[in-house]
Each structure stands twice: as C-alpha cells, then as structure tokens.
Amino acid sequence: MSAPNASPEAAAQLLFPPNVQYNHARLYNIKFLSSCFAGAVAGVLGFTNASGFALFAASTALTAACLYVKCRGRPAKCVPGGVLELVSPGQENMFSFVLVWTLFYGIVHVYD
C-alpha cells in the first residue's frame, strides 16, 4: 500500500500495466454497449433534440455510477484517471449513440 499523501505519479506506478490495459478495454466495451443501447431506446421512443441527448447523459451517468460501485468506490485503483475516466463519455461513444439513435428512429418512425 502507498502512503496516504503519496503523489498521483507514485500511485500510478503501482498499477500493473497488463491489468490496466485489460480494465481499459472492458471499460471501453461497457461504455460502447451502453451508448448503443441508449441510442436504440431513444430511437424507438421517438426522442428528438434535447430529450435524446438528455437520455445519453443519463445513460452515461448511470453507467459511471454502476462502474463506480463495481470498483468498490476506488476507481483510481482500477483505471488511471479515476472517476474522470468513468464519467467521460468519449467522442466515439457519442457518435455511436447518434448513429444508433438515427437508425432506430428511421426504422420505427419512418411513416409518422
């Protein structure tokens, strides 16, 4: 264990790189699937404009909260960046959300 007032650089040196790489890959997959699922829900429900992006924000917050609980309240031990890494939606996830949102909206509401 590190000292309670250790610098962030010293704490980052204690992380084992293969484990960090594995955790980062799993985190990316979870965020990607969450954003795609939220996009599908927004499209099927017919959300437009701000309501769709509000669903994306809520989905990101819920995913971050679940991951925070999974890390037992100490995300800095699992991923470098800590809570900020859990909360950030990522540009590629936002684009995936919009893509799936427009796809499902077009499929379900094509003749409205």
Prediction pTM value: 0.81
What's the pLDDT tens digit per position in 50-93?
999 999 999 999 999 999 998 888 888 888 888 888 888 888 89
Which residue matches tokens 């499902």? 104
Q: How far apart are CA 61 and CA 78, in angstroms?
A: 18
pLDDT at 1 > cutoff 50: no
In this structure, are residues 43 and 105 in contact, taking their beta carbons and an 8 Å threshold? yes
The set of residues, in sequence order, having a beta carbon less than 8 Å from that of 5 and lying 6+ positions away, is none
List phi, psi (to 5°) of 74.
-135, 70
